[in-house]
Structure 1
Amino acid sequence: MALLQTRALTRRFPGVLALDGVDFSAEAGEVHAVCGANGAGKSTLMNILSGTIPATSGDVLLDGVPVEFSSPADARSAGISIVYQEFSSIAELTVADNIFLGHEFRKSFGIVDRARASHEAKALLARYDIDLDPDAVVGRLGVADSQLVELARALASDARVLILDEPTAVLSISEQAKLFNVIRTLKARGLLVLYISHRLEEIFEIADTVSVMRDGRHVATRDKADLDQKQLVELMTGHEVLAPLSPPEPKEGGKVVLSMRGLTGDGSDIDLREGEILGLAGLVGAGRTSIARRLAGLLPRTGFTAEMNGAPLPDDAAAVLKAGLVYLTEDRKTDGIFGPLSIPTNATAAALDRYSSAGILSLRRERKDAAAILKRLRLVAGSLDVSIASLSGGNQQKVLFSRALLAKPKVLICDEPTRGVDVAAREDIYQLLRDLAGDGVAIIVISSELGEVLALSHRIAIVRHGEVQAMMDNDGLSEHALVAAATGTEAA
């Protein structure tokens, strides 16, 4: 008997059938990946299983017994915990404090027993081979260890089913390996791990079984051994996949739009021309995002200077945007979306002067332009009037991408532009970037996925320790060559 099942599970939102009679089952002691394009229903299914939202109809069963959850606390009590991609730990508290947050051990007079919390946390971490110091302050941990704190907190409730939502979104390759080792330990101890990710290579590395959702329906469940990436993508999209994009043709003759001085280790200048796509590659923490945010006026531009079209680039973000440099942030939750506001309001937020006259906003033009570009990006939403916070992460990313484009950039900096975006939308974004370059927009692409950098860039800047250490023409480059250059090994 399956540990977890759903029968005819359905969820309706106003104007949207998010889940349509989903029958799903998963076994104890397996890593079960749930895949699908943005808007396929993955998040809705996981939110029902974790008690965040109720189903409209249908059943959830644990060990064959129907269960109903009115809150996440109900689900945790039944043994189902979820770890979201956005961290929720309190930075000022220790690992142990965060693990037992809301379920503190107490001594007489209600005093928190922190010594016992540390002892219990140490035992929990040892049980699942999680290498963390229970007394370490979370705010001083790296990203990977912070992710493990979130996981340990979920396990503290005696979870039998653990849902991981895009757990590697901000992890380096070595940090991913550390997480995967923990996941294998969980599987060996009999837990069911439901693994949600758009990174197909991860699914083929860590999953035992793969279920695919499309348009709110469960369309297939396969053993990983019976699938390849091409077949999986075709199940997710419902059509045959396109051949991978090759690097773009070199651009010649474009005038210099952006000049950067003092950014390279050898003191040379970097000039970005019209229609050129420059990739920034490097290890996590190498300083790629710092360079982008300094260019965008979001951090002090210390260490280098920049000019646009021969004039000094302003220092503050509003003036940089007015000059024509647009930055697409990597952190959509913190720096990107205006959660309670509508999709068109979010899409046009960087170009309000184009949609207003005498201080009066033209909602019709705003909506028309936003709808046109979002249609091109294949946004999945019941209505343009819903709040952006109600969309899946990938669809939120599409709205932010439309915001950047509606600002009519001369230079566009895309920091992890396809994070959380499904395979089909990723190809749309790739083509859109190429089209923009064809129209003369100069583009800087930052991505932790080396294949993405190679597919998009004319040249690639290797960043280490906050500086550009090498400039490489994208002519026959391989991922191995980029890794070697990023790590400073002789193979570069």
Structure 2
Amino acid sequence: MALLETHDLTRRFPGVVALRAVNFTARAGEVHAVCGANGAGKSTLMNVLSGTIAPSSGSVLVNGEKVNFITPAEARSAGIAIVYQEFSSIPELTVADNIYLGQEFRKGFGVVDHKRASSEAHTLMERFRIDLDPDAVVGTLGVADRQLLELARALSNDAQVLILDEPTGVLSLSEQRNLFEVIRTLRDRGMLILYISHRLEEIFEIADTVSIMRDGELVATREKGSLDRKELVRLMTGHEVSDTEAIVDPLASGKTVLTIDGITSDDSRILIAEGEILGLAGLVGAGRTSIARRLAGLRPRTGLTVQLKGKPLPSDIAGVLKAGLVYLTEDRKQDGIFGPLSIPMNATAAALDHFSSAGFLARRRERSQAATLLEQLRLVASSLDMPITSLSGGNQQKVLFARALLAQPKVLICDEPTRGVDVAAREDIYRLLRDLSKRGVAIIMISSELDELIAMCHRIAIVRQGVVHSVVANEDLDEHKLVLAATGSDAA
């Protein structure tokens, strides 16, 4: 008997049907991947299963019993836990207090027992090999550690079903391998793992069964052994998609656009030319994002001197943007989106001066240019007037990418630009980056996917402990050498 089933599950939102009579079945003791392009309905299905939203019609069964979750707490009580792509932890609390939020341990007079929470959290994370300090304040953690906290929080309940939504987006290679070992252990204990990812190589490594969604419908469920990458992409998109990797175009000799002093281990100067794509490679926590945020004026530039086209780069955010340096954040929920605003208003937020005259905003021109760019990025939305929070995570990323491009950058810093983006949209982003490069825009690209850096970048800077240790030409690297360099191995 199936552990989890849905019968004719349908969910309607104003102007759109997000799920259309989905009949889904998954067994205990398997890793069941759920794939699909952005906006296919994966997140909506997971939100229904986890009690976040109610279905418009249809039913959900757990162990053959019909359930009707009104709240996420009811789903957790039934044994369904979810780790969202976006973080839900409270920055002001400790790791332990976040893990047991809503199920606090109490001592005399109902006082919260923080010491016991810390001890229980330590035992939990030791059991699942999660390397976090239970007493650390969450606001001091990096993105990767906050992702691990979300996993620990889900595992704190005796779950039968664990839903993982893009769990490896910010994890290093070693952390990914550790996560996969945890997943296999949980599967072997009889747990059902629902695994959502756009990284197809992960699907073929970790999944036993694959369900493919498209336009709110479940189009196929296959055993992994009966699928190859080409067939999976065809089922996801409804058409053939080129499976060729992006290859960076040769760099024409161009003038220096960005000069950076004080960021290398040997005090050498980094020069980035017009049209050059410079990759930042390193392990999670190496300091790549810290470098990007210092350049963008989001953190103090102590010890750092930056010039853009021969002029000192302002140190404040507004001045940096006006000078022509645009930063595309890795954490869209925290730093990127304006939740209540419409899709075009989010897309144009960094370029309002381009759409205004005499202090008045030209809404029609703003909407037209945003719509054109979003169409190129294959945004999935029933209406541009929808708030950005109504979009899937991948489609929110596309809107932020459009925002960066509409700001007409001279230098574009992309921090994990393809995180949570499907196969077809990833190709569009690669094409847009190459087009920007041809037009003379200098690009700094941060990515945890080493093959992506090698395919897209002219040179790659190796970052360790917040400092650039070397800058290597693309043709001198492969993934193995890049891993060795990132870890500081002598063999590199």
TM-score by length of 2: 0.94
TM-superposed CA distance for 1:313, in Å, is 1.1
Residue 199 (structure 2) pairs with residue 199 (structure 1): yes
Distance in 1, Cα, partners of 2:157 & 2:460: 46
* Residue number in structure 2 paired with 1:404: 404
Rounded Cα–Cα distance in structure 2 between residues aligned with 1:18 and 1:106: 42
- 1:136 aligns to what? 135
Q: For 1:444 and 1:125, how far apart are their aligned partners in 2?
A: 36
Contact 2:147/2:170 (8 A) holds in 1: no
Partner of 1:59: 59
What is the distance in 2 between the residues matched to 1:120 and 1:325? 46
Aligned to 1:440: 440
CA distance in 1, matches of 2:113, 2:471: 55
Distance in 1, matches of 2:44 and 2:241, equals 26
- CA distance in 1 between partners of 2:469 and 2:133 (Å): 38
Instruction: Supply the distance in 1 between the matched residues of 2:478 and 2:246 (Cα, whole angstroms).
Output: 12
The 1:131–1:400 alpha-carbon spacing in structure 2 relative to 1, beyond 3 Å, is: closer
d(CA) in 2 for partners of 1:448, 1:387: 30
Q: Which amino acid in the other structure matches residue 333 of structure 1?
A: K
Stretch of structure 1 that moved more, 338-347 or 434-443:
434-443
Root-mean-square deviation (CA, aligned residues, Å) is 2.1
Matched to 1:136, the amino acid is D
Correspondence for 1:223: 223
Note if 1:159 corresponds to 2:155.
no
Q: How far does residue 121 in structure 1 lie from its aligned partner after superposition?
A: 5.0
5 Å-filtered alignment, 1:413-452, equals: 413-452=413-452
Which residue does the alignment assign to 2:104?
104
DSSP 3-state at the match of 2:244: coil
Q: Distance in 2 between matches of 1:266 and 1:133?
A: 32
Q: Secondary structure at 1:395's aligned position in 2? A: helix
Indicate the larger mover: 321-330 or 74-83.
74-83
Residues 39-72 of structure 1: CA deviation (Å, up to 9, x unaligned): 0100000001111111111111112222111111
For this pair of structures, how many residues does the alignment match?
Answer: 491
Could you say if the C-alpha distance between residues 133 and 241 of structure 1 is closer, same or farther in structure 2, counting changes exceeding 3 Å?
closer
Q: Mean alpha-carbon deviation: is it higher for 434-443 or for 393-402?
A: 434-443
Aligned amino acid, residue 46 of structure 1? M
1:78-477 → structure 2 map (5 Å cutoff): 78-114=78-114, 117=117, 129-131=128-130, 136-139=135-138, 146-475=146-475, 477=477
2:475 match: secondary structure: coil
Q: 2:143 & 2:312 partners in 1: Cα distance?
A: 35
Q: Does structure 1 conserve the Cα–Cα contact (< 8 Å) formed by 2:106 and 2:112?
A: yes
Distance 1:243 1:181, change over 3 A: closer
* Segment drifting more, 379-388 vs 472-481: 472-481
SS at match of 2:322: helix
**Contact 2:212/2:218, CA 8 A, preserved across alignment:** yes
Q: Give the equivalent residue in structure 1 for 2:28.
A: 28
Q: Which residues in structure 2 correspond to 1:8-27 (within 5 Å)?
A: 8-27=8-27
Q: Which residue identity is paired with 1:232?
A: L
Deviation, 1:95, is: 4.5
Give % identity. 70
Alpha carbons 2:230, 2:243 under 8 Å: kept: no
- The one-letter code of the counterpart of 1:189 is R
Q: Tell me the residue number matched to 1:483.
A: 483
Deviations 1:282-313 (A, max 9, x none): 12122211221111111122222111111111
Q: Is the 8 A contact 1:212 1:220 kept in 2?
A: yes
Bigger Cα displacement from structure 2, 174-183 vs 363-372? 174-183
Paired AA for residue 429 in structure 1: I
Task: Single out whichever of 455-464 and 332-341 deviates more from structure 2.
Answer: 455-464
User: Amino acid of the residue matched to residue 474 of structure 1?
Assistant: N
Residue identity in the other structure for 1:383:
S
**Is the 2:121–2:134 contact (alpha carbons within 8 Å) kept by the matching residues of 1?**
no
Aligned residue for 1:475, secondary structure, equals: helix
Is 1:45 the counterpart of 2:53? The answer is: no
Cα shift readout 1:194-231 (whole Å, capped 9, x = no counterpart): 11111222222221111111111111111122222222
What letter corresponds to residue 471 of structure 1 in structure 2?
V
With over 3 angstroms needed to count, the CA separation of the structure-2 counterparts of 1:439 and 1:121, relative to structure 1, is closer
TM-score by length of 1: 0.94
- Paired letter, 1:464: R
Q: Equivalents in 2 of 1:238, 1:73: separation in Å?
A: 37
Q: 1:401 to 1:125 in 2, by over 3 A?
A: closer
Q: Partner residue of 1:69? A: 69
Q: Give distance in 2, aligned partners of 1:328 and 1:398.
A: 11
SS at match of 1:418: coil
- Following TM superposition, by how much is the alpha carbon of 1:320 offset from its aligned partner in structure 2, in angstroms? 1.1
Amino acid at match of 1:277: I
Q: Which runs of 5+ in 1 are unaligned?
A: none
Q: 1:135 to 1:286 in 2, by over 3 A?
A: closer
SS in 2 for 1:278: strand
- Whole-angstrom distance in 2 between the partners of 1:398 and 1:456: 18
Instruction: Please tell me the residue identity of whatever aligns with 2:221.
Output: T
Give the whole-Å Cα distance in 2 for the aligned partners of 1:32 and 1:302: 48
Q: 1:92·1:138 contact (CA, 8 Å) conserved in 2?
A: yes
Q: Cα distance, 1:412 vs. partner?
A: 0.9
Is the Cα–Cα contact under 8 Å of residues 91 and 137 in structure 1 kept in the other structure? Answer: no
Q: Is the 8 A contact 2:330 2:416 kept in 1?
A: yes
- Structure 2 vs 1, CA of residues 303 and 384 (structure 1 numbering), >3 Å: closer, same or farther? same
The 2-side partners of 1:377 and 1:133 are apart by: 37
What letter corresponds to residue 322 of structure 2 in structure 1? Answer: K
Letter in 2 for 1:231: E
